[in-house]
């Protein structure tokens, strides 16, 4: 009787490991983390290969707006990357605040398709006036 329980437990444990492994393998393409500017600078192959899209995160500096075109820098206080973006910015986007941008590198400039503003744990929604 005890051997039957042990065998069932081993089979169940093995099955759980296989299912978990297969699930993580299937989801690996949809898990998107971001690189910091320092990590990006260390990966010269991404800088030179402009077809690869990824996320870049850090603090925003030097925002320049010219119509719908926005130029700014993303920094992690060690390295800085120039970013170009066209489109609306999130309401929380501001200098010296965190942001994550999604896009690709072209001529050592990050061309962003999407800009996400980060907020701290003390986020409070705007109250209507």
Q: How far apart are CA 117 and CA 21, in angstroms?
A: 33
Structure tokens at 129: 């006036």
pTM of the shown model? 0.67
pLDDT of res. 108:
84
Cα distances from 30 to residues 4, 18, 24, 26, in angstroms, run 40, 20, 10, 8
> For the stretch 77-104, what's the b/e string if a residue is b when 16 or more beta carbons lie within 10 angstroms of its beta carbon?
eeebbebebeeebeeebeeeebbbbbbb
On the question of pLDDT at 115 being above 60, the answer is yes
pLDDT in tens, 3-15: 888 888 888 888 9
Query: Can you say how many angstroms the Cα of residue 123 is from the centroid of all Cα atoms in its chain?
Result: 20
Q: How far apart are CA 52 and CA 68, in angstroms?
A: 25
CATH code that applies to domain 34-117: 2.40.50.140
Domain spans, the chain:
1-31, 34-117
């Amino acid at each position: 009787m005890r051997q039957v329980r042990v065998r069932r437990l081993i089979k169940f444990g093995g099955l759980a490991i296989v299912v978990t492994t297969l699930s993580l393998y299937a989801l690996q393409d949809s898990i998107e983390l971001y690189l910091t500017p320092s990590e990006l600078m260390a990966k010269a192959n991404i800088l030179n290969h402009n077809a690869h899209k990824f996320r870049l995160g850090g603090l925003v500096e030097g925002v320049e707006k010219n119509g719908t075109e926005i130029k700014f820098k993303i920094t992690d206080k060690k390295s800085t990357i120039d970013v170009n973006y066209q489109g609306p910015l999130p309401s929380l986007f501001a200098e010296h605040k965190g942001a994550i941008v999604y896009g690709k590198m072209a001529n050592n400039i990050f061309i962003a398709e999407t800009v996400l503003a980060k907020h701290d744990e003390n986020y409070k929604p705007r109250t209507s006036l």
